[in-house]
Structure formats: structure tokens, C-alpha cells
């Protein structure tokens, strides 16, 4: 009997600039295609500023938003441009979800590559909206890509872990620490530090600056000591794998961790999501009830003061209805589907693909 097909897992790749996110996405893409039978990824590029994407994205933010036009039109710098482009794209994210939804029966993984500047995704409303929207429709895992050679100093390692910790607590999603570039440096030191608190303390001491002239622990040392205690708790909630996006080492272990995250998503994230939804709905209902009660109180007072006024409250069936159906044009494109003229409306009305024989809308 054929194995029942599981719903796809969404993998959100996040990481500091240069950690290797795009190379990693390229590697997992080719890994999936090389499986027997091949697995199908559905890839979303959310970095509007990237000039070259080393993989074939199914949905590319650059098809919808022209980053340099956004910078010009809104008079923004590079980071403001990326953030505004992401905001514009997020207003259409329901269409992205519809496109993804059409593929749930044929796709194994939905992979999101995020902007190079990590905070633009992790600390923006758009990033949170996109993450929540994806995570409420698919089993989702965050892959936090770390540049292993650049994080081998204890203080840098701890800063990176604190950042990862903040994302974990913000998203509450299953989380995989992906130590990338293991072809340059093994990630064993990181595993040792994560599993053995004493070892990390010893590494901190070795890097100097932990005692002042009187032999007392410095402020920095005490701070790092307490922070590493916090992190010790955090390490229990995550999985760490070492990979080389260059050679492909460790990619299988990464996918084992992704598969294992399905359970965490169902046991931890979904109940939390249901609780958050119930609380939000209750708050909304309470606010509605309160406004209705206030309206009724006001009407009663009004009637008491002005009994004839009720006549003007009647509904006039001949009055014109405001039939303002917001029929937004469908302007997110799935590159793997055939595009048709008029499907694409660039938010900034600029032409990105002059070589394609499609008449994109031009400024009037
Ligand atoms: N040696 C080695 N280099 C890698 C590996 N993965 C990525 N790189 C290199 O690291 C650099 C940055 O990789 P990118 O994939 O562009 O990193 P990114 O995180 O997408 O960077 P942004 O474009 O800033 O988002 C490139 O020069 C890659 O060739 C790896 O596993 N091993």
C-alpha cells in the first residue's frame, strides 16, 4: 500500500548577513531533487535586494516589488528600502498562501529564504505576519543559519545564541541551529559548549578579561556568566546540526531534524496557537459586546430625550449602497505556472524582465 503523503513542512531560513542562507537553500534544494524518488521543494525568495539567487525560486519578491524603485520613490536608504519592499509584499501575502495551498498535495517542503539583514525579518511586523501566516497553515520550523568559523570566540558565540534565543521566544516555533561552513571549521566546539556549561566557562576564562587587577571577576565576566546560565535552559529546546552548504555534509541530518520538528510543532506550537486564537477571539468578542452595550445605552438616552428622532434612523431601501468590493488584482506570480499578461502588477510599476515577452503595465 502506498505510504500516505504527509503535508509539506515549511522551513524558514534566518541568519546573519553572510552566514550562508542562500547557499544553504541552494544546497537543500539540490539535495531534495537528488533523492529517490525526488522530493519537491517550493521556494520563496523574500530578499528584495539580492542580485543573484543561486536557486530557482517559485515565488520571488523581486517579481512583485522593485527594491531600487521603492528606495527612489520613498526616498529611503538600503535597509528602509528592503523593509518597505517587504511590507508591500506582505500586503499580498494572502495570495502567496493561496498559491502554496494549491501545491500542498504535490510539494514536500516549502522553503523561505529571508533578507540578508536579519533584523528586517525578525524584528519587523511583516516578518512576524509572514511567519505567523505560514505557521498557522503548515507545520513550520525555523532554521537558524550560523557562520561557524565566525562564531568560534566565546563572546561572539554567546551573542549569536542570545539572538537565536530571542527569535525562538518570539516565534515559539520548533528551532534548528544550523552550524554552517563546517568544511572550514567543525562545529564540535559549539556542541561541547552547549552540552557542558563548565566547558563554556573555561573557554570564556581562557579568552581573558574575566578578572580585574584585584583578581575579582569583571562586570563583563559576571554578565556573561549569568547569560550563559539563561542559555543553558534555552539549549534544551533546540536541535543543533552541523552542515557544509559547500560540500553537502550534514544535510541529511538537517532533514532528520526537520522531520522530528513535525511532532514538536503539533505538541507545542499548535496548542499554543489555539490558546492565542481563543484569547484573541474572546478579547474581540468582549470589545464588540462592550460597544454594542454602549450603543444601546446611548440610543435609550437619545430616545428619552428626543422621541421623534427614531424616524430618521430608519433604513432607506432606495439609498445607494456602497458596493465597494475590493477586487484586488492578483499580482503575486508563481514562476512555475504560466504567467499571463495582466496577472502581474508591479507595485512600483517598473519593468524587471525586459527579455520576457509580456506587456507589464507601464506608468501612464
Ligand atoms: N566554505 C564555505 N563557504 C560557504 C558555505 N556556505 C556559504 N558560504 C559562503 O559564504 C558567503 C555568503 O553566503 P551567502 O549564501 O551569500 O550568505 P547569505 O546568508 O545568503 O548572505 P546575504 O546575501 O547577506 O543574505 C559566500 O561567499 C558563500 O560562498 C559553506 O558551507 N562553506
Residue 102 Cα to ligand 1 midpoint, Å, equals 32
CA-wise closest residue to 277 among 127, 168, 121, 135: 135
How far apart, in whole angstroms, are the C-alpha atoms of residue 350 and residue 324? 28
Q: What is the pLDDT of residues 47-90, one digit of tens each?
A: 998 888 888 899 999 999 999 999 999 999 999 999 999 999 99
Least confident of 102-111, 139-148, 225-234: 225-234
CA-wise closest residue to 218 among 229, 228, 205: 205
CB 245 within 8 A of CB 20: yes
Check if the interface score ipTM surpasses 0.90: yes
Ligand 1 contact via 21 beta carbon (within 6 Å): yes
pLDDT of amino acid 158: 87
Go through 211-231 and write b for each residue having 16 or more CB atoms within 10 A of its CB, e for each that does not: eeeeeeeeeebeebeeebeeb
Atom of ligand 1 nearest to the CA of 23: 15
Ligand 1 contact via 78 beta carbon (within 6 Å): no
Residue 219 Cα to ligand 1 midpoint, Å, equals 35
pLDDT of amino acid 224: 76
Which position has the higher pLDDT, 229 or 34? 34
Residue 234 Cα to ligand 1 midpoint, Å, equals 26
* Residue 217 scores a pLDDT above 80: no
Residue nearest to atom 4 of ligand 1 (CA): 181
Query: Which cell goes with 20?
Result: 550562508
Residue 112 Cα to ligand 1 midpoint, Å, equals 16
Strand, helix or coil for residue 211: strand
The confidence band for 329, taking pLDDT boundaries of 50, 70 and 90, is: low
Residue 300 Cα to ligand 1 midpoint, Å, equals 68
* Residue 352 scores a pLDDT above 60: no
Q: What is the pLDDT of residues 153-194, one digit of tens each?
A: 888 898 899 899 889 888 889 999 999 999 999 999 999 998
Query: Which cell goes with 279?
Result: 484569547
pLDDT of amino acid 34: 93
Residue 192 Cα to ligand 1 midpoint, Å, equals 25
Residue nearest to atom 3 of ligand 1 (CA): 181
Query: Which cell goes with 76?
Result: 529611503
Residue nearest to atom 6 of ligand 1 (CA): 20
Residue 291 Cα to ligand 1 midpoint, Å, equals 54
Atom of ligand 1 nearest to the CA of 116: 25
Name residue, grid cell 527569535: 167
CA-wise closest residue to 21 among 62, 50, 63, 59: 50
pLDDT of amino acid 358: 43
Ligand 1 contact via 62 beta carbon (within 6 Å): no
pLDDT of amino acid 363: 44
Residue 73 Cα to ligand 1 midpoint, Å, equals 31
Ligand 1 contact via 117 beta carbon (within 6 Å): no
The confidence band for 203, taking pLDDT boundaries of 50, 70 and 90, is: confident
Which position has the higher pLDDT, 113 or 154? 113
Query: Which cell goes with 98?
Result: 493561496
Least confident of 123-127, 329-333, 341-345: 341-345
Strand, helix or coil for residue 19: coil
Ligand 1 contact via 45 beta carbon (within 6 Å): no
Is residue 315 classed exposed, middle or buried when 0-12, 13-18 and 19+ CB atoms within 10 A define those classes? exposed
Which position has the higher pLDDT, 102 or 224? 102
* Residue 350 scores a pLDDT above 50: no
pLDDT of amino acid 342: 45
DSSP 92-141: THHHHHHHHHHTTTT-SEEEEEPPSSHHHHHTSHHHHHHHHHHHHHSEEE
pLDDT of amino acid 242: 97
Residue nearest to atom 9 of ligand 1 (CA): 20
Which of the residue ranges 51-55, 194-198, 247-251 has the most confident prediction, judged by mean pLDDT? 247-251
Ligand 1 contact via 246 beta carbon (within 6 Å): yes
Amino acid at each position: 500500500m502506498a505510504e500516505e503523503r504527509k503535508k509539506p513542512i515549511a522551513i524558514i531560513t534566518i541568519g546573519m548577513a553572510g552566514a550562508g542562507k542562500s547557499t544553504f537553500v541552494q544546497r537543500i534544494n539540490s539535495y531534495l531533487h537528488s533523492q529517490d524518488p525526488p522530493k519537491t521543494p517550493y521556494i520563496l525568495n523574500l530578499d528584495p535586494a539580492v542580485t543573484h539567487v543561486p536557486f530557482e525560486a517559485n515565488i520571488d519578491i523581486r517579481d512583485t516589488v522593485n527594491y531600487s524603485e521603492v528606495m527612489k520613490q520613498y526616498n529611503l536608504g538600503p535597509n528602509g528600502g528592503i523593509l518597505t519592499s517587504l511590507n508591500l509584499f506582505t500586503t499580498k501575502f494572502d495570495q502567496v498562501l493561496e498559491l502554496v495551498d494549491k501545491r500542498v498535495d504535490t510539494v514536500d517542503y516549502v522553503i523561505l529564504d529571508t533578507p540578508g539583514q536579519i533584523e528586517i525579518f525578525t524584528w519587523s511586523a511583516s516578518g512576524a505576519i509572514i511567519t505567523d501566516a505560514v505557521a498557522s497553515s503548515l507545520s513550520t520550523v525555523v532554521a537558524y543559519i550560523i557562520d561557524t568559523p565566525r562564531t568560534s570566540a566565546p563572546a561572539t558565540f554567546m551573542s549569536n545564541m542570545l539572538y537565536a534565543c530571542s527569535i525562538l521566544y518570539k516565534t515559539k516555533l520548533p528551532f534548528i541551529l544550523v552550524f554552517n561552513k563546517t568544511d572550514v571549521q567543525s562545529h564540535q566546539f559549539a556542541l561541547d559548549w552547549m552540552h557542558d556549561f563548565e566547558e563554556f566557562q573555561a573557554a570564556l576564562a581562557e579568552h581573558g578579561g574575566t578578572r580585574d587587577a584585584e583578581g575579582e571577576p569583571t562586570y563583563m565576566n559576571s554578565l556573561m556568566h549569568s547569560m550563559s546560565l539563561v542559555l543553558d535552559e534555552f539549549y534544551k529546546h533546540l536541535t543543533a546540526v552541523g552542515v557544509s552548504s559547500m560540500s553537502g555534509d550534514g544535510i541529511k541530518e538537517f532533514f532528520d531534524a526537520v522531520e522530528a520538528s513535525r511532532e514538536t510543532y503539533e505538541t507545542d506550537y499548535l496548542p499554543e496557537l489555539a490558546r492565542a486564537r481563543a484569547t484573541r477571539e474572546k478579547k474581540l468578542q468582549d470589545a464588540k459586546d462592550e460597544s454594542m452595550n454602549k450603543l444601546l445605552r446611548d440610543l435609550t438616552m437619545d430616545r428619552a430625550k428626543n422621541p421623534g428622532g427614531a424616524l430618521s434612523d430608519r433604513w432607506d431601501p432606495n439609498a445607494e449602497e456602497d458596493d465597494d468590493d475590493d477586487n484586488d488584482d492578483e499580482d503575486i506570480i508563481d514562476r512555475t505556472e504560466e504567467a499571463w499578461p495582466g496577472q502581474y502588477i508591479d507595485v512600483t510599476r517598473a519593468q524587471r524582465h525586459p527579455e520576457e515577452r509580456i506587456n507589464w503595465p507601464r506608468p501612464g
